[in-house]
């Protein structure tokens, strides 16, 4: 019903637009310059006043109608539902709806059959009422708009304002989604903290989320100390940045200041292809190629390297984020004006002196934000560490041992059949919140650094 | 006959190694059949031009005539352009500056440059001026560096205006102050020649007057080559003027002669405003 209405509205929209355009031309007998707004603005104006009210009604109606019908049906079948509790009432409604509109019905009885016929009747009524009102709105809007088409009508202003409203609505949607996600993280985390002490989570040194599933099982209580996970995340991220920052930055410097045009035209896209490799590919590359190679190399030196090591995961992750660093840094380095380079060269500075003392300081804010973006990617990255870093929550700074990360643990907590009110699954939300906070703090810190050390050029 | 005699006399008076012009002025830089190509396109045709020591030489001419190209050859700034090729001979004190054995970094330390648009580094005023001396190791300690910075700013006529805020960013100065800062920056490495590529084209008349005054003062210690679009400016600040047209050096002579008594028809048309 909703989609049919939408399709009809779209057709009406086009028709109103075309009509408005033609009408605007007729009003001035083809002398378009006599119009305040171009004919297409009149068309758009007519389309807006015709379709927009009906569209808004459709949206509101689609959201509100089922609830209204529910309450009407419940009011009508007061006898049957008077004694029911909340879950039973919900089951009653679900079954009645299923009988009326098709679906899986729990069990049927006379009261439900009656409610179902009410549903059918009300639904039909609702649809008819909606279509009637939409038609009235559209016709009224069209008549109103068509009458107002005149040379002095400021259709352009109305259209521009509508466009602005659409833009605002879109940005509000994006912002509200973010807020919604954060709020849901916070509320689920609060439920977790009812079961597990906040401080023992944030400062706890041991992570062992296994709890007894049944009362008679022998099992630990489960300890939820996030420090080993954070330490593992930080260790791997640090290794990744140690790989990606120099390689990416130097590659960017080469590309922007040393490479000739043809080399740059080939090398930059190739580097960016690196960003297009799926992380799962990096993951098995890390697990199957890099980790065994590191272990073999370590053993030949007499070191004991575990087969899933932080080093292997970190190095591969570093390779993954090289393109973020190099591509973004290359852009900001290129954005440093040539006049600064000339000024430095004119004073007898060599190319490397110019880059070190003039170009890089000027590009610093952009380079730092490139690094921050790369770090955020590394912290949130899951696939590589799931495959290559391991599950053992060791609290260690030795990169040759297996560590685990926040993201890996979230995956293992939620994979498989889980009940969603145990401490174990709720811990995933708390970990998510923790990760979010860490990344946020990192961003704020980086912004501060950038503001403090930025060298403004204009 | 007379001219030949006096030239010979002048040559005899001058030290053996130094080059002199026909009328006896010492030559700082000399262009001999300089040709410049950008890819296939030739931008300069056999330019012979002497830059006289401790004088201001103005290069004038319509846009695209090659005057900036010639200026940029004098400290090899064209090296940064991949497709640019220079032929002919360019000398500084008799030394070929395009010789493979020449270190371009040293050359640019001796032949400084001030650009059309003020381009202070996004650093403090002090750091801007100290930049050159630092990279060339001209100061042994902080006190010496302070002296170089202060005296360079003084020579550029900027010291009084900025002495209380040397730590302020150079980009925060006004356009005219920024350009004088760039001149101070060039002076700080003690160059022998200063090249100026339309140094006043981005400045208002008052700032322009200050920079012109400064150029006149700098003439006592430095050889200056200035590219300008303003013929009044060329007349005000220079002692010698060279007129370029379509990649050719049309004529060169004492500024007064060029403006009052040009030998070439094209020069006359240009300075009387018939084209360009």
Buried b / exposed e over A89-106, threshold 16 CB at 10 Å, is: eeebbebbbbbbeeeeee
Best probe of the B interface among A265, A336, A337, A343, by most B CBs < 10 A, is A343
User: Is A346 in contact with B112 (Cβ distance < 8 A)?
Assistant: yes
- The reply to whether A288 and A146 lie within a common domain is no
Structure confidence at residue B15 (pLDDT): 42
Name every residue whose Cβ is closer than 8 Å to that of residue A99 and which is 6 or more positions away in sequence.
A105, A108, A112, A113, A115, A116, A119
- Tell me the shortest Cα–Cα distance from A192 to chain B, in angstroms: 51
CB contact at 8 A, A229 and A406: yes
Q: Is B75 on the interface with A (CB under 8 A)?
A: yes
pLDDT in tens, A9-46: 999 999 999 999 999 988 888 888 888 888 999 999 99
Q: Identify whether A251 is part of a domain.
A: yes
* Domain termination residue (choose one: A123, A153, A183): A153
Structure confidence at residue A424 (pLDDT): 81
Q: Is A453 on the interface with B (CB under 8 A)?
A: no
- The reply to whether A128 and A254 lie within a common domain is no
Contacts of A350 in chain B (CB under 8 A): 105, 135
| Partners of A397 in the β-ladder | none
Buried b / exposed e over A35-72, threshold 16 CB at 10 Å, is: bebbbebbbbbbbbbbbbbbbebbeebeeebeeebbeb
User: Is A342 in contact with B119 (Cβ distance < 8 A)?
Assistant: yes
- The reply to whether A391 and A268 lie within a common domain is yes
Torsion, Cα of A357, A359, A362, A366 (10° steps) = -130
- The reply to whether A233 and A84 lie within a common domain is no
User: Is B119 in contact with A358 (Cβ distance < 8 A)?
Assistant: no
Q: Say yes or no to pLDDT of B276 above 60.
A: no
Q: Is B121 on the interface with A (CB under 8 A)?
A: yes
Q: What order do you get walking across the sheet with B111-114 strand by strand?
A: B111-114, B193-197, B223-227, B56-60, B240-245, B248-254
Range with lowest mean pLDDT among A443-457, B18-32, B67-81, B205-219: A443-457
Residue B211 DSSP class: H
Structure confidence at residue A454 (pLDDT): 66
Count of CB pairs separated by less than 8 Å, A with B: 80
In angstroms, the CA B11 to CA B163 distance is 47
Q: Give the pairing of strands B27-38 and B84-92.
A: antiparallel
- The reply to whether A143 and A235 lie within a common domain is no
| Partners of B124 in the β-ladder | B169
In angstroms, the CA A7 to CA A1 distance is 10
* Domain termination residue (choose one: A134, A153, A172): A153
- The reply to whether A100 and A246 lie within a common domain is no
In angstroms, the CA A404 to CA A400 distance is 13
Residues B22-40 have a mean pLDDT of 89
Runs of H (alpha helix) within A278-359: 279-285, 291-300, 310-335, 338-346, 351-354
- Tell me the shortest Cα–Cα distance from B162 to chain A, in angstroms: 19
Q: Identify whether A162 is part of a domain.
A: no
Q: Give the pairing of strands B84-92 and B56-60.
A: unpaired
Q: How far lies A25's CA from each of A28, A181, A336, B168, B200, in Å?
A: 6, 50, 51, 61, 54
- Tell me the shortest Cα–Cα distance from B192 to chain A, in angstroms: 12
Contacts of A349 in chain B (CB under 8 A): 105, 131-132, 135
User: Is B171 in contact with A456 (Cβ distance < 8 A)?
Assistant: yes
User: Is A346 in contact with B105 (Cβ distance < 8 A)?
Assistant: no
Q: Look at A223 and B27; give whichever has higher pLDDT.
A: B27
- Tell me the shortest Cα–Cα distance from B80 to chain A, in angstroms: 9
- Could you list the pLDDT tens digit for every one of the 458 residues in chain A? 788 889 999 999 999 999 999 999 888 888 888 888 889 999 999 999 999 999 999 999 999 998 898 888 888 877 777 777 778 888 888 888 888 888 777 778 888 888 888 888 999 999 999 999 999 999 999 999 999 888 888 889 999 999 999 999 999 999 999 999 999 999 999 998 988 888 888 888 888 877 655 556 655 567 888 888 989 999 999 999 999 999 999 999 999 989 888 898 998 888 888 888 898 999 888 889 998 898 889 889 888 888 788 899 999 999 999 998 998 899 999 999 999 999 999 998 998 999 999 999 888 888 988 898 889 889 988 888 888 887 888 888 888 888 888 998 888 888 877 676 777 888 889 999 999 998 888 888 888 877 777 666 65
pLDDT in tens, B49-81: 999 999 999 999 998 899 999 999 999 998 878
Contacts of B120 in chain A (CB under 8 A): 343
- The reply to whether A349 and A445 lie within a common domain is yes
Contacts of B133 in chain A (CB under 8 A): none
**Three-class SS state of B45:** strand
Structural domain boundaries in chain B:
19-117+192-271
Considering only CB atoms, B186 lies closest to which of A347, A350, A357, namely A347
Q: Is A362 on the interface with B (CB under 8 A)?
A: yes
CB contact at 8 A, B62 and B71: no
Q: Is A340 on the interface with B (CB under 8 A)?
A: yes
Considering only CB atoms, B119 lies closest to which of A260, A339, A350, namely A339
User: Is B77 in contact with A456 (Cβ distance < 8 A)?
Assistant: no
Residue of B nearest to A363 (CA): B122
User: Is B106 in contact with A348 (Cβ distance < 8 A)?
Assistant: yes
Residues B217-237 have a mean pLDDT of 92
Structure confidence at residue A214 (pLDDT): 58
Q: Report the helix count and the strand count for chain B, using DSSP H and E.
A: 11, 10
Best probe of the B interface among A261, A333, A345, A348, by most B CBs < 10 A, is A348
Contacts of A357 in chain B (CB under 8 A): 131, 135
* Domain termination residue (choose one: A153, A174, A200): A153
- The reply to whether A238 and A148 lie within a common domain is no
Q: Is the pTM of this model over 0.90?
A: no
The two structure tokens encoding residue A400 = 């040759």
In angstroms, the CA A87 to CA A283 distance is 46
The secondary element (H helix, E strand) that includes residue A278 is none
Q: Identify whether A193 is part of a domain.
A: no
In angstroms, the CA A21 to CA B124 distance is 60
Range with lowest mean pLDDT among A111-115, B85-89, B224-228: A111-115
* Sign of the torsion formed by the C-alpha atoms of B260, B262, B267 and B272: positive
The CATH number of B19-117+192-271 is 3.40.50.300
The two structure tokens encoding residue A43 = 């068309």
Q: Which of A69, A49, A395, A89 is nearest to A227 (CA)?
A: A395
CB contact at 8 A, B208 and B116: no
As for the ipTM of the complex, it is 0.83
Structure confidence at residue A114 (pLDDT): 85
User: Is B135 in contact with A261 (Cβ distance < 8 A)?
Assistant: no
Torsion, Cα of A4, A7, A12, A14 (10° steps) = -170
The residue written with tokens 């109608």 in the block is A65
- The reply to whether A129 and A237 lie within a common domain is no
Best probe of the A interface among B129, B135, B152, B182, by most A CBs < 10 A, is B135
Residue of B nearest to A456 (CA): B122
pLDDT in tens, B106-139: 899 999 999 989 999 999 999 999 999 999 998 8
The domain that holds A435 is classified in CATH as 1.10.3720.10
- Which residues constitute the domain of residue A24? 2-153
- The reply to whether A228 and A149 lie within a common domain is no
Range with lowest mean pLDDT among A149-153, B7-11, B218-222: B7-11
The two structure tokens encoding residue A76 = 């009508």
pLDDT in tens, A353-376: 999 999 998 888 889 888 988 898
Q: Is B199 on the interface with A (CB under 8 A)?
A: no
Name the B residues in 214-273 with CB < 8 Å from any A CB: none
The two structure tokens encoding residue B27 = 């030559």
Q: Identify whether A185 is part of a domain.
A: no
Q: What total of structural domains would you count in chain A?
A: 2
């Amino acid at each position: 019903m909703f989609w049919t209405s939408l399709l009809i509205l779209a057709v009406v929209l086009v028709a109103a637009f075309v009509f408005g355009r033609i009408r605007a031309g007729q009003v001035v007998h083809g002398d378009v310059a006599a119009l305040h707004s171009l004919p297409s603005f009149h068309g758009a104006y007519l389309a807006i006043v015709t379709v927009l009210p009906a569209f808004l009604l459709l949206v509101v109606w689609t959201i509100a109608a089922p609830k209204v019908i529910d309450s009407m049906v419940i009011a009508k079948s007061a006898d049957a539902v008077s004694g029911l509790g909340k879950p039973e009432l919900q089951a009653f409604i679900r079954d009645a709806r299923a009988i009326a509109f098709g679906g899986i019905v729990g069990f049927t009885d006379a009261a439900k059959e009656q409610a179902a016929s009410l549903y059918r009747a009300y639904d039909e009524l609702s649809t008819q009422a909606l279509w009637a009102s939409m038609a009235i709105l559209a016709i009224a809007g069209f008549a109103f708009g068509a009458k107002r088409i005149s040379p002095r009508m400021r259709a352009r202003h109305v259209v521009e304002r509508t466009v602005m409203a659409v833009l605002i609505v879109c940005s509000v949607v994006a912002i509200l989604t973010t807020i919604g996600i954060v709020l849901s993280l916070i509320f689920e985390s609060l439920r977790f903290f009812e079961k597990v002490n906040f401080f023992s989570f944030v400062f706890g040194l041991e992570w062992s989320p296994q709890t007894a599933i049944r009362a008679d099982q022998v099992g630990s209580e489960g300890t939820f100390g996030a420090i080993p996970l954070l330490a593992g995340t930080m260790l791997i991220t640090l290794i990744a940045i140690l790989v990606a920052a120099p390689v990416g930055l130097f590659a960017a410097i080469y590309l922007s200041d040393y490479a000739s045009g043809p080399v740059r035209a080939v090398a930059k896209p190739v580097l960016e292809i690196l960003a297009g490799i799926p992380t799962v590919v990096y993951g098995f590359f890390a697990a199957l190629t890099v980790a065994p190679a590191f272990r073999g190399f370590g053993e030949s030196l007499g070191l004991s390297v575990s087969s899933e090591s932080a080093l292997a995961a970190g190095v591969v992750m570093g390779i993954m984020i090289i393109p973020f660093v190099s591509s973004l840094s290359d852009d900001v380095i290129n954005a440093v004006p040539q006049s600064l380079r000339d000024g430095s060269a004119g004073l007898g500075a060599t190319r490397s002196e110019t880059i070190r003392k003039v170009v890089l300081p000027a590009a610093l804010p952009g380079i730092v934000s490139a690094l921050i973006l790369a770090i955020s990617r590394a912290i949130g990255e899951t696939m590589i560490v799931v495959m290559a870093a391991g599950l053992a929550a060791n609290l260690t700074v030795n990169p040759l041992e297996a560590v685990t990360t926040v993201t890996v643990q979230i995956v293992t907590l939620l994979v498989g059949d889980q009940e969603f009110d145990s401490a174990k699954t709720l811990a995933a939300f708390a970990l998510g919140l923790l990760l979010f906070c860490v990344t946020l703090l990192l961003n704020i810190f980086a912004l501060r650094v950038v503001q403090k050390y930025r060298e403004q050029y204009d | 006959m007379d001219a030949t005699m006096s030239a010979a006399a002048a040559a005899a008076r001058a030290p053996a190694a130094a080059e002199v012009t026909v009328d006896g002025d010492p030559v700082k830089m000399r262009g001999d059949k300089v040709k410049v190509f950008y890819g296939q396109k030739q931008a300069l045709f056999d330019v012979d031009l002497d830059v006289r020591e401790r004088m201001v030489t103005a290069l004038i001419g319509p846009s695209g005539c090659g005057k900036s190209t010639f200026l940029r050859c004098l400290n090899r700034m064209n090296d940064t352009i991949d497709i640019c090729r220079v032929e002919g001979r360019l000398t500084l004190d008799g030394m070929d500056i395009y010789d493979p054995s020449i270190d371009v970094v040293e050359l640019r330390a001796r032949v400084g440059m001030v650009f059309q648009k003020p381009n202070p580094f996004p650093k403090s005023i002090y750091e801007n001026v100290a930049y050159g001396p630092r990279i060339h190791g001209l100061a042994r300690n902080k006190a010496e560096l302070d002296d170089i910075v202060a005296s360079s700013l003084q020579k550029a006529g900027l010291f009084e205006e900025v002495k209380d805020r040397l730590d302020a960013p150079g980009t925060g100065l006004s356009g005219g102050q920024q350009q004088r800062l760039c001149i101070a920056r060039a002076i700080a490495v003690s160059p022998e020649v200063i090249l100026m590529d339309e140094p006043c084209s981005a400045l208002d008349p008052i700032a322009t007057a200050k920079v012109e005054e400064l150029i006149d003062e700098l003439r006592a210690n430095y050889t200056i080559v200035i590219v300008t679009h303003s013929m009044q400016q060329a007349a005000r600040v220079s002692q010698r003027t060279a007129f370029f047209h379509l990649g050719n050096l049309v004529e060169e002579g004492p500024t007064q002669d060029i403006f009052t008594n040009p030998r070439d028809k094209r020069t006359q048309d240009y300075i009387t405003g018939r084209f360009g």
